[in-house]
Amino acid sequence: MKTLLLIEDEQSFADILLRRLSHYGYRCLHGMSNEQGLALAQEHQPTHMILDLKVGSENSLVILPQLRALLPQSRIILLTGYASIATAVEAIKLGADDYLSKPVDTKTLLAMLVGETKDMEVSDTNIMSPSRLEWEHIQQVLKSNDGNISVTARQLGMHRRTLQRKLLKKPTSE
């Protein structure tokens, strides 16, 4: 039987994803933290794993080498709302088989889980525009600073009012 371990701290997203995947024959397990995920991996030996990049205040890249060493034949996919080339390269180097940005459709996720990425077409809808990437990055830094505009602006190297104007704009759907 195919066993899937999801390490994800957002319960509502995890519930939706696990419900979807269980319909496709996966026995699903859910860890809310890196520690819980490692414990579940050791106990249940999953055949597939999906890791959120940001799990609470932790980064799941730190447990990738441990998971790969523990389960070398398992398929590991890193899933993130803050996709970047740098983290994608690092994730692959540390042992991930694939890297996807949220939101992800079921068809793409299932193809990644079985390793059928060679035949997949890259569509324009899967590529984020520069303005969308900027918005995602600003949101990530703002979240890490608990919503503090002044600290976030300093970290991003911009004036506080410039950041406030950028936050007022709706993110593009591109």
- In 11-81, which residue ranges form alpha helices assigned H by DSSP? 11-22, 34-44, 64-70
Statement: residue 120 has pLDDT above 50: no
| Average pLDDT of span 108-132 | 64
Statement: residue 127 has pLDDT above 90: no
Statement: residue 173 has pLDDT above 70: no
Specify the pTM. Answer: 0.68
Comparing 144 with 38, the larger pLDDT belongs to 38
Angle between the 11-22 and 106-114 helix axes, to the nearest 10 degrees? Answer: 70
Q: Quick: pLDDT tens for 16-65.
A: 899 999 999 999 999 999 999 999 999 999 999 999 988 888 889 999 99
Residue 122: its pLDDT value, please?
A: 44
Q: Name which of 147, 131, 127 is nearest 139 in CA terms.
A: 147
Q: Which pair of structure tokens corresponds to residue 140? A: 């990530």
Q: Quick: pLDDT tens for 93-104.
A: 899 998 888 778
Residue 118: its pLDDT value, please?
A: 47
Structural domains in the chain, sorted by start? 2-123 (3.40.50.2300), 128-168 (1.10.10.60)
Residue 170: its pLDDT value, please?
A: 65
Lowest mean per-residue pLDDT among 3-12, 75-84, 155-164? 75-84
Q: Which residues pair with 59 in a beta bridge?
A: 54
Residue 159: its pLDDT value, please?
A: 93
Q: Quick: pLDDT tens for 1-11.
A: 899 999 999 88
Q: How many residues does the chain have?
A: 174
